[in-house]
Structure formats: C-alpha cells, structure tokens
Amino acid sequence: MKEFDVTIVGLGPTGGTLANLLAMHDFSILILDKEKSFYPLPRAVHFDDEIMRVFQTIGITKDFLKHTIINKGTKFVNSKNKVILDWPRPKKITDNGWYPSYRFHQPDLEKKLRKKLKNYTKVSIEQNSEVIKIKNSKNHVDITYLNINNHNEHLIRSNYVIGCDGANSITRKQMKTKMDNLGFTQKWAVVDLILKKKKNNLPDRTIQYSNPKQPATYCRNVGRRRRWEFAIKKNHSDKKVLSENYIWNFLKPWLNKSEAIIERKTIYTFESAIARKWRKGRVFIAGDAAHLMPPFMGQGMCAGIRDASNLAWKIANCIRNKFDETLLNTYQSERSLNVKEYIETTMRMGEFVNAVESIQITDNIKSDNQGIKRMQSIKPKLGKGLGNLRDKNRGKIFPQFKLNKNISLDDNFSKKGILILSSNIKTKALKKYPFINSKKFKKLSVYLKNINSKAIIVRPDRFILGSAKSNHKINLLLKKYSEILR
C-alpha cells in the first residue's frame, strides 16, 4: 500500500494552492481529481490583495501577473441607470503589498498552480480518479479511489486528507456532516463572452444592475472577455433562458450578436451555506466543500484560498512535530467566523442588487458631497483560535515590508512563523528562535510603535499570533507558541 503525508481531493484553485503550500515543506502529496484535466472555460474571475500575497508565497506571481488586470471596483445602478452605491477599489498598494482587487481567467491560474507543482518530485497527481471511501483511523486515513478510465480500484494511506472537492464534496459526505443554509437561494444565468473587437462603450468596471424586474451583473474581465449574470424569472425555463434568442435579446442594451461570441452559458443556484464540521479526525474540508456564497463580492474562491493558507501551515506543523489536536481544532474556529462575515455581507449585497435599497450592506458606507453612497471593503479578523482574544493585535494581518527593492520580509517566513522585535528588547530565550530586529528597518520600528508593542509573533499565513510589551510577556508568548517558530 502506498503511503503519503497528505492526500488532497480536488485540484481546483483551493486544492492547487493547498498542494503548493504543503509541497514547499518537501512532504509527499497525492492529489486525486475526478476530471480528465483542468476545466478550460471561465469560472471564478476575481481575487484580492490577500490572495495575491498567498500566490506570492508559493512563487507564481511573476508568471501569473501578466494574465491579470487591476479591478477598478463596482457600481450599483438602479433601473434609471443612476448610481445608488459605489464600491471603488483605488489603485493603491495595500498593507498586503498588492492592489486591492484583480480580475483573471481561472484556467490561467490553474495552469500556473499545476506548473509549479511539477517542480516537486514528491507530488503525485491522479486525474480521472474518483474517491469511493475514506476511512479515518487514529494514526492515519485509508482512501479507496476508482480510476474512471479502467475501473481499477486503488487503496492508499495518508497522514491527512483534505477535501477541496467542491459543493458536492464526497469528502464532506464521508465525514457525514451537513451544510447549514444561511437563507439566500436564487437561480441566475451566467454568460461569458469574448468580444470580436474592442468595444469602448462597455463599462471598465463591474456594474450591479439593481432592477426589480431582472437584477443583473456585468463584469469587465481579462482581455476581451466580458461576463453578464442575470436572475431567472420564475416563469422562465432553464432551456428558454439559455437559448441564443433569449441571451442576445437580454444583451441588446450593450452589444449585438455580430460583436461577440458566447464562450460559456450556464445556470447556477446561488447559495449561502456553511458546513457544520470542517474536520473529523485527520480528514478536513476546504473551499466550496466547507462553505458557499453568492458571487456579488467575488469572494468565493478567495475564501477557499484563505482556508488553504490557514490549514497548510498547521498540518505542516503537525507532520514535523507530531499530531496536535489543539492546533488542528483552530482551523474551523478561526476560518468559519471570518467566512461567515463575507457570506452575510454578500447576501445583503445580493438583496441590494434585487433592488431592496433599504438593505444596509455594511457599516463601511458613507455618503459623499454628491449624495452618492460609497462602500469600503471589509477585512474580517480571524475567529477564536490561537492567541489571546484580549490582545488587540491578535488576528490582524501583518503588513508586507520590503527589506530592499528585491527582498520582502515575507521571504523570511514562508514555512514557519517569525518573531519581530523592537531594538531595545533583550532576552536569552531569543537565541533559540528566528527573529528580525526592527532597528535595521525604520518602517518596521514605526509599525511596532503604532501597534504599541515591543514584540510580535507572526504566523506563516501572515496573521499576528500575539504581541507583547515586556521581556516577561515575550518569554510567556515564546513558551506557549515555540513550535510555530521551529
């Protein structure tokens, strides 16, 4: 029987990111995917600065950046085409070291993730492979899977299994956990087009059409790709809505049949749901297997990659330092509250698109001098887990600092946590751990001063685990979380 450190079920963006993050530790990894290859048509089209920082960690940004465009934001307009809410995404580098919002073509991302995985000799990818059974034991997991081509069954053993296998996750079913519906369910059509030539009168940003007769969304995507999504009326069949006549009639206000080709047309049921359990023993779920949200904020794929970033370093720590029940239990508790805030905000945004203008999407909305409401992006903290909740810095994103033009501080802690110290801290315990002294870097010194700390521990996923103001508090912090730095 073949044995692996980690088995990942599903090789979409979440599974591909997770595999890369774990492969950096030189673990043996098996990826099982039931498809023949990656899906060649558009699906996810947006990600943010936090996600680009994860891509930077695994080393694909240089190749991938040329396949993206910077997203300028979203405007909500009513049936009279009047702007009722603006959600701008300023072209300004954030604390994460990237622009706030990007557009992309999912196959481009999947190609880069798979290309990177080829660099790791201990990573095996089995396409056309359908998981049949997952058996959880105290010290390992046994997985039975079927080769769809020749119908041969295979049995392998793994220390950990993560299901990144989508909304119909077989991993979640094997865990026998249910999804809790949070109350938003709507059928929408999604139409992806490629323009035959430039069409300058189309908006250069996302437009949400808040129209009670037929709510719709327009997305300006990479290159000549454009997307329209629209709610399906109750008396219209799926077949009718996906017919050429219906689609081109709907698109009349923007373009005609001679100006573009339809690349993809499909119907989605937009849902909001969270799985009750994300972990059972050594088996986990992530991405759409663990949660679903409507697309109005473009945070579905982002949420899955945040799962991967949170879970990867914890599993890596458990492989290096033996199984740690307490550490693994923090995965769901930290991620579920964070993703729930995104889901609930997205649901309110969906109601706003449905022309319920009385809905308050978020507290981060203010009116400008012209009376137009403007919205700021949300950045939810981590839920309860590692670290002291009374620590005001715990759970916040640690900014990306450049040590010089070519080197980022991030490069020093891709696999393990790191200790950041102010210049006047002296303690014998420091000799055991990797640390950065801020006295060499003015911006880092200013940052520590601004957050009222003498020292902080930063996790490998770039969140602050804890902060301290004295030698004594630093020693306590190091004693409790030393494994994260080793």
96-147 tens-digit pLDDT:
999 999 999 999 999 999 999 999 999 999 999 999 999 999 999 999 999 9
Task: Judge: domain 409-485, CATH 3.40.30.
Answer: yes
- The residues spanned by each domain of the chain are 2-69+100-180+274-348, 409-485
Give the model's pLDDT for residue 471. Answer: 84
* Superfamily for domain range 2-69+100-180+274-348: FAD/NAD(P)-binding domain (3.50.50.60)
Element (H, E) at 471: helix 471-481
Cα separation, 184 vs 342, whole angstroms: 13
Say which range, 125-129, 314-318, 435-439, has the weakest mean pLDDT: 435-439
pLDDT of residue 427: 63
Using the predicted structure, report yes or no on whether residue 80 has a pLDDT greater than 80.
Answer: yes
Higher-confidence position of 165 and 81 = 165
Average pLDDT over the chain reads 92
Contact in structure between 314 and 459 (CB atoms under 8 Å): no
In the predicted structure, residue 357 carries a pLDDT above the cut 70: no
Summarize pLDDT for 163-215 with one digit per residue, the tens: 999 999 999 999 999 999 999 999 999 999 999 998 889 999 999 999 888 89
Q: Which amino acid is at 12?
A: G
**Residue whose C-alpha is closest to residue 306's, from 480, 148, 459, 439:** 459
CA–CA dist 392, 450 (Å, integer): 12
pLDDT score, position 302: 98
> What is the C-alpha separation between 132 and 145, in angstroms, rounded?
5
The rounded distance, in Å, linking the Cα atoms of 386 and 419 is 16
Bigger pLDDT: 162 or 374? Answer: 162
Q: 400-427 pLDDT, tens per residue?
A: 998 777 788 898 788 888 889 887 776 6
State both tokens at 231: 């709610």
Predicted confidence (pLDDT) at residue 228 exceeds the cutoff of 90: yes
Higher pLDDT, 287 or 415: 287
pLDDT at 34 over 90: yes
Contact 77, 13 (CB under 8 A): no
User: What is the distance, to the nearest Å, from the Cα of residue 138 to the centroid of all Cα atoms in its chain?
Assistant: 30
Note the maximum CA span of the chain.
Answer: 75
What's phi and psi for 371, nearest 5 deg? 85, 5
With bands split at pLDDT 50, 70 and 90, how would you rate the model's confidence at 363? confident
Q: Do domains 2-69+100-180+274-348 and 409-485 have the same CATH topology?
A: no
Across residues 242-263, what is the average pLDDT? Answer: 96
Q: How far apart are CA 154 and CA 144, in angstroms?
A: 6
Q: How confident is the model at residue 92 (pLDDT cuts 50, 70, 90)?
A: very high
Whether 347 and 391 have beta carbons less than 8 Å apart is answered as no
What is the per-residue DSSP string for 229-256?
Answer: EEEPPTTS-HHHHTSHHHHHHHTTTT--
Residue 361 has pLDDT above 80, yes or no: no
